[in-house]
Structure 1
């Protein structure tokens, strides 16, 4: 029942998968406390209260650009003069207003004059931080791990695919091999796309991700007797390559810190895996409760999750298909 309710909760957000990526506040340090600021936030929000950078008093805006739409986000740039502050933005409070009202998160990236960078995830609990004098690898690792976990939990299409794998596979050992194959698949393309080995058409990949969920729902519904059920590890590996491009798109919107790309890439992937494992444990626990206390209802409850998964995926295919065609 919980699986079915979880799937049904996703229906109101059918048209918005991947459109609520974390906002990004990037600050580039220049000479004499001069700064270039880039602010990117999703077009669609969950509240009438806008998300806005919170910069310290004493910083004057020298130049400000008009908002521009880039993909599913709005980008704004401006130049700051913080020479009235003793150390510029070092030691000053920087944050984002409106995170709590929108139940959103943001990534703050501060690039120092010497090429180093520092990152911090801002959320509903911590929306303001002090800019440190030097970045640490531990800070990068923690920030990108949290961001990876948040991304997979905010991406219902990826979670629905994982749900399909759990429903398809019989036996814990087979499930472990299948999930590991999915991990290997999306880790490979996540790294390759992020490092610039190859590029891909975003709209087409988003459509194919939705199609993979729909096809998987059909196989689960077909009494688990098809080719997918016989070789689930191969299916998970192949579709994992596809889903990795979707993960890379989210990471590309935030960017990677110079000099700490391996740490950021590794920690983001670890965050994805932790979020994925937590979701799988939730599904398995729900399945245990159903078998233990709702045995008579089991055959009636499972189809609800399957048909809802297929229906949501079909609507994603319809919407994203039009995007591929340019409508």
Structure 2
């Protein structure tokens, strides 16, 4: 038991170091990196409506240009309008021989860490979707697609969402400052998982809605609170968080679920795909979360054999987490009250 406690201490220190470096490198994207979205809807035998939505990064449009095949012609030239956190572009094209087999390119995507979620809807009911990665910044429109292929795409989206969701990872790391027993760790992570799955489902189906910017600010404040509780624990004090960390993990997990839902609801996905997308996106989130925990525990198990970690180091780690979370909270509150984040 003592060995596991030392391993947890080393693990959370490693997690704090990694996430802190990423948080300082990418402060404006400290929550999740939201994907771009391309939707193509067939309106008649020759015409298609194009919806191209790109996220804003530090207030600037994503430097990616949509390049359609040379064989299509524009019936309505691109028209843009700003949305909270993104730019929406609409156009109408004519494709006499359908789009199946044609290649759509995303110029500049290879220089980013953002994915593009693509959806194609035909009049005869056929659908296709895919996640385009920076490593292969193009999409060849298929004639048809299996549901398992769609499910696998959302699974990968969930994994990437949590691994790039630095604040969610830092929250998990902050819980590890308090939890020193593997049984309690299992309870705590399970409570967090159940809670964010509940609100992820409710928000994705539109049953409950909260604006994104306040949720992101509260997520940062939740990390700050747990970090403060970790300092109290090192001082020998008691509290609800210290005694029953799984209860607090469940409460804040409900909040984090709304943050996870932002990656899906912002894409405007058709309702017929939501059950499948929700299930596999959530599975992907859990795979990413458990991978993060397993990785830092595996590395820390070896590291603890070399280093001796005492109380001052644990307190320093808690202050490090709190400092990063406080920075994110101030940044996000500033965006809400001084940059029109609620509009």
TM-score, normalised with respect to structure 1: 0.91
Query: For 1:233, which of 246, 252, 255 is the aligned residue?
Result: 246
1:135 corresponds in structure 2 to: 145
Matched ranges for 1:279-294 at <5 A: 279-294=292-307
Q: Give the distance between the partners of 1:272 and 1:257, measured in 2 at CA.
A: 21
Query: For 2:265, which of 252, 268, 271 is the aligned residue?
Result: 252
Q: Structure 1, residues 166-192: CA drift from partner, whole Å, max 9, x if none?
A: 222111111111101100000000000
Give 1:152 shift.
Answer: 1.1
8 Å contact kept, 1:25–1:53? no
Unaligned stretches of 5+ residues in structure 1:
none
The answer on 1:274 being equivalent to 2:284 is no
8 Å contact kept, 1:183–1:240? yes
Larger deviation, residues 164-173 vs 111-120: 111-120
2:6 corresponds in structure 1 to: none
Unaligned stretches of 5+ residues in structure 2:
1-12
Question: Could you say if the C-alpha distance between residues 167 and 267 of structure 1 is closer, same or farther in structure 2, counting changes exceeding 3 Å?
Answer: same
Give 1:49 shift.
Answer: 8.7
SS at match of 1:38: strand
Larger deviation, residues 208-217 vs 44-53: 44-53
Give 1:127 shift.
Answer: 2.1
The answer on 1:305 being equivalent to 2:314 is no
8 Å contact kept, 1:45–1:102? no
Q: Give the distance between the partners of 1:199 and 1:49, measured in 2 at CA.
A: 26
SS at match of 1:32: coil
Matched ranges for 1:127-206 at <5 A: 127-206=137-216
8 Å contact kept, 1:33–1:89? no
Larger deviation, residues 96-105 vs 266-275: 96-105
Matched ranges for 1:74-85 at <5 A: 74-83=87-96
1:120 corresponds in structure 2 to: 130
Question: Could you say if the C-alpha distance between residues 104 and 298 of structure 1 is closer, same or farther in structure 2, counting changes exceeding 3 Å?
Answer: farther
Q: Structure 1, residues 265-304: CA drift from partner, whole Å, max 9, x if none?
A: 1000011111101111122123323321112x55554444
Q: Give the distance between the partners of 1:185 and 1:288, measured in 2 at CA.
A: 29
Q: Structure 1, residues 144-203: CA drift from partner, whole Å, max 9, x if none?
A: 111111111111111110111122211111111110110000000000011011211322
The answer on 1:223 being equivalent to 2:233 is yes
